[in-house]
Amino acid sequence: MIDIHCHILPGVDDGPLGMEETRQILAEAQKAGVKTIIATPHYSHGLYENGMVGQVFDRVKTEAKNYGIELYRGYEIKIHQYPARMPDDYRDLDLAGSKYILMELPFKDFPSYTFDLIYQLQINGFTVIIAHPERCRKLAAEKRIFEDMYDNGCLMQIDAASIIGVNGWGARLFAKEIIRSHKAAFVASDAHDPEDYSKYYVEAYKRVQKWVGRDAAEGLFGKNAQKIIECISGCIENVTATP
């Protein structure tokens, strides 16, 4: 399994507070069968500029090897209501230098400039992955917006916790709809603490396997993400939603 969305770096966002909790997350990821993780702290201009994230990442990358896990660096970038709060430059903010970039929508709203932002990123060579669209109430209420994002080339990443109902019944139903309509490309842990692996991740895999079969589940939990890892040394094949 390959996890493209995980808040495993201690002390940089709302993930683990210290290295001991990070070790617990790594141990549970190992038990769940995860071999590769892309660390995706929430983007913060201050932390990015002062180099703190890079220093913490280097420590955790070394620690992860003790659990047989390869760690790569990325970010989760929230689309704020005010464009001025967004990064000036998206270089080095993608997933493992792959030109795939993880974007998070607000849970309640859909910023009016979102499609313009996606277009600008695309013409600069990025592929946009939407983190947990099932948790955005605006998308759930107005499916046309979701369909437009999908039709405009965005890839969809579903949270494992949503699949088993942790994020609410509405998010679970929407996640199931996206997966069963073959419009999801990834399922990720979005882990902030150990139980995101120990309680949710493997159980989510079992549910997805029942919904769409083993081959599709393997695509969502690993094979599609492998194409992102391959892009580190030059893209071999573009990721698409799992058929």
Summarize pLDDT for 198-215 with one digit per residue, the tens: 999 999 999 999 999 999
pLDDT reported for residue 82: 87
Task: Report if residue 241 sits inside a domain.
Answer: no
pLDDT reported for residue 232: 63
Alpha-carbon distance 174 to 77, whole Å?
A: 22
The model's pLDDT over 221-242, given as tens digits with 9 standing for 90+, comes to 999 999 998 876 554 456 666 6
Task: Report if residue 103 sits inside a domain.
Answer: yes
pLDDT tier at 192, thresholds 50, 70, 90: very high
Task: Report if residue 182 sits inside a domain.
Answer: yes
The tally of domains found in the chain comes to: 1
Kind and range of the H or E run holding 71: strand 70-73
| Both structure tokens of 160 | 């494992």
- CATH code of residue 161: 3.20.20.140
Task: Report if residue 170 sits inside a domain.
Answer: yes
When the pLDDT of each residue in the chain is averaged and rounded to a whole number, the result is 92
Mean pLDDT of 131-137: 96
Helix axes 169-180, 202-212, angle to 10 degrees: 50
pLDDT reported for residue 236: 44
Task: Report if residue 10 sits inside a domain.
Answer: yes
| Both structure tokens of 215 | 């081959």
- Under DSSP, is residue 74 helix (H, G, I), strand (E, B) or coil? coil
Torsion-angle region of residue 41: left (phi > 0), alpha (psi -120 to 50) or beta? Answer: beta
- Complete edge-to-edge strand list for the sheet that includes strand 70-73: 2-6, 36-39, 70-73
The model's pLDDT over 79-111, given as tens digits with 9 standing for 90+, comes to 998 888 899 899 899 999 999 999 999 999 999
Domain that holds residue 168: 2-233
pTM for the model:
0.93
Alpha-carbon distance 242 to 169, whole Å?
A: 23
173 pLDDT higher than 80: yes
The model's pLDDT over 142-154, given as tens digits with 9 standing for 90+, comes to 999 999 999 999 9
Task: Report if residue 240 sits inside a domain.
Answer: no
Task: Report if residue 238 sits inside a domain.
Answer: no
Task: Report if residue 97 sits inside a domain.
Answer: yes
Phi, psi for 66 (deg, rounded to 5)? -65, -15
